Amino acid sequence: MRITLIGSGNVATHLGAALKNAGHKIVQVWSRDLKHAALLAYHIKAEPIDRFEQLSTETELIIIAVKDDALEEVAAFISLKNVLVVHTCGAVSMQVLEKYFDNCGVFYPLQTFSKVRELDFHSVPLCIESAGKNSMQVLLDLGRTISNNVQIINSDQRKTLHLSAAFACNFPNYLFAVAADLLQQKQLNFDLLKPLILEMALKVQDHLPQTVQTGPAIRRDEKTMQTHLELLDQKPHLQKIYKMLSQGIIKMAEGDIA
């Protein structure tokens, strides 16, 4: 399939590489900064552009992979109307594209992407939505060339999925950063926690998270929790987070997760 990427960030980089490796032709890469477009285009053998009037009429599919708050602005500038246009945003409805295109959809890869780390795209869940039956099949067929897990998920479901991903990935990573900082203050290496983090992640592959919760809060160990809070005396914002999360764990033990 002949594809143009709008965007040159983390999602566009990984998606572009996966599509190229699957045998698709990446025709162009657009970015506001031509240097950024050129860097990605070089690796996936595409033409870099920085103006929407340069969009090739040979393109069969346009994938908009930009920040959520830039999506509608970018969509409004695309003048090619006879192509399938999709976005990759988890928290944005397909209706944003329906304002501008008759043939549109969503091609949302559920994963955390960083340019510094390669990943196997075949394991990435791809969430597909489309306004038309024909374009839905096109996206399903395309998705299956790069992923072993392609699912039809509507905008309402996808928003909740995106929210869940924030709780499952973004927030824990912040807590990892907090933990690393606390260790550094005592000349301890974050590597000490890595086996613990890995074991936690492995547990939830086979068990419901609420059934494998450990720690002082689930044990109602008030003495240990108080000791932890005292260690955070100089960090009231972390005390607040600690208390809030501990109360959440206690409520979960009582059957009230959310």
Tens digit of each residue's pLDDT (9 = 90 or more) over 192-201: 999 999 999 9
Q: Which domain holds residue 181?
A: 158-253
Q: Give yes or no: residues 17 and 98 share one domain.
A: yes
Phi/psi for 2 (5° steps) reads: -95, 120
pLDDT tens digits for range 235-257: 999 999 999 999 999 999 999 88
Q: Are 145 and 199 in the same domain? A: no
CB atoms within 10 A of CB 13: 22
How many other CB atoms are there within 10 angstroms of residue 84's CB atom? 24
CB 250 within 8 A of CB 220: yes
Bridge partner list, 2: 25
Specify whether 18 is located in the same domain as 135.
yes
- DSSP codes of every residue in the chain: -EEEEE--SHHHHHHHHHHHHTT-EEEEEE-SSHHHHHHHHHHHT-EEES-GGG--TT-SEEEE-S-GGGHHHHHHH----SSEEEE--SSS-THHHHTT-SSEEEEEE-S---TTS---GGGS-EEEEESSHHHHHHHHHHHHTT-S-EEE--HHHHHHHHHHHIIIIIHHHHHHHHHHHHHHTTT--GGGGHHHHHHHHHHHHHS-GGGS--SHHHHT-HHHHHHHHHHTTT-HHHHHHHHHHHHHHHHHHTT---
With contact defined as beta carbons under 8 Å apart, do 148 and 123 qualify?
yes
Per-residue pLDDT, averaged over 209-230, amounts to 97
Mark whether 149 and 224 lie in a shared domain. Answer: no
The answer to whether the CB of 232 falls within 8 A of the CB of 242 is yes
104, β-bridge pairs:
85
User: Does residue 258 lie in a domain region?
Assistant: no
Q: What is the pTM of this model?
A: 0.92
Segment 145-161 shows an average pLDDT of 97
Look at residue 116 and tell me whether its pLDDT is greater than 90: no
Indicate whether 258 pLDDT > 80: no
**Which of 106, 121, 153 is at the close of a domain?**
153
Domain boundary among 131, 153, 175: 153
Please tell me the distance from the alpha carbon of residue 27 to that of residue 95, in angstroms, as a whole number: 26
Total count of domains within the chain:
2
Residues 125 and 30 in one domain: yes
Which tokens in the block code for residue 243?
Answer: 């208390």
| Whether 192 and 123 share a structural domain | no
Give the percent of the chain with pLDDT over 70: 100
